[in-house]
Each structure stands twice: as C-alpha cells, then as structure tokens.
C-alpha cells in the first residue's frame, strides 16, 4: 500500500514537471519578442575606389560616375593603363 502511494506521488511530480516545461516552451513562442535596436557601424560610403589611366588608385564620389552598364574586360584594362606597375 505504501509503495503505490509513493509511485503515484512520483508519477504526479513527473507529470507536473513535464506540464510546466511544456507550458514554458509554448509561452516562448506566444509572447512577442522585442526587436533589437540596430546601430549602424559605419556611415554609408559615398565614394568608391577607381583606377586612373596612369595606374593610380583614387577615391571618386559615386554621384560623379556615369553608369553605362557595359562591363570592361581584363584585357581592355591592361591595355588601357599606360604606366604599368612593376611588382
């Protein structure tokens, strides 16, 4: 008789713990999450690095660049640079 009461109390304890864990896990999905404040790390860049005709790398304002939509091949760039740098 005494062992059956002990088994029942243990069983009730385990079912209660399981119910509590399931309640907590469902509340995690039901309660809306706070949105994180995003702080920008760096200001938006308005310049880009470009290669000049004599082989120097300069920064140019993006608003000054005329976009043609034509991609230049590597061969054209090599022949375009007048002073080829030596490595």
Query: Is 23 inside any structural domain?
Result: no
Is it the case that residue 85 has pLDDT exceeding 70? no
Residue 86 CB coordination number (10 Å): 4
Query: Is 13 inside any structural domain?
Result: no
Task: Show the domain range for 55.
Answer: 47-80
Q: What is the mean pLDDT of residues 18-26?
A: 90
Q: Enter the tokens of residue 56.
A: 């120097």
Total domains in the chain come to 1
Query: Is 28 inside any structural domain?
Result: no
Position 52 scores a pLDDT of 83
Q: How far is CA 53 from the centre of its chain?
A: 37
pTM here? 0.35
Query: Is 31 inside any structural domain?
Result: no
Query: Is 32 inside any structural domain?
Result: no
86 vs 31, 56, 83, CA distance in Å? 63, 13, 9
Query: Is 66 inside any structural domain?
Result: yes
Q: Kindly report, residue by residue over 34-73, the tens digit of the pLDDT.
A: 777 877 776 677 888 988 877 789 999 888 888 888 888 8
């Amino acid at each position: 008789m005494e062992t059956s009461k002990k088994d029942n109390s243990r069983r009730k304890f385990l079912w209660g713990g399981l119910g509590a864990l399931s309640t907590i896990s469902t509340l995690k999905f039901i309660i809306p999450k706070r949105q994180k404040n995003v702080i920008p790390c760096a200001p938006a860049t308005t310049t880009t690095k470009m290669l000049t005709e004599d082989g120097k790398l300069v920064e140019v304002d993006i608003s000054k660049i005329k976009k043609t939509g034509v991609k230049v091949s590597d061969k054209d760039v090599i022949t375009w640079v007048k002073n080829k740098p030596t490595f």
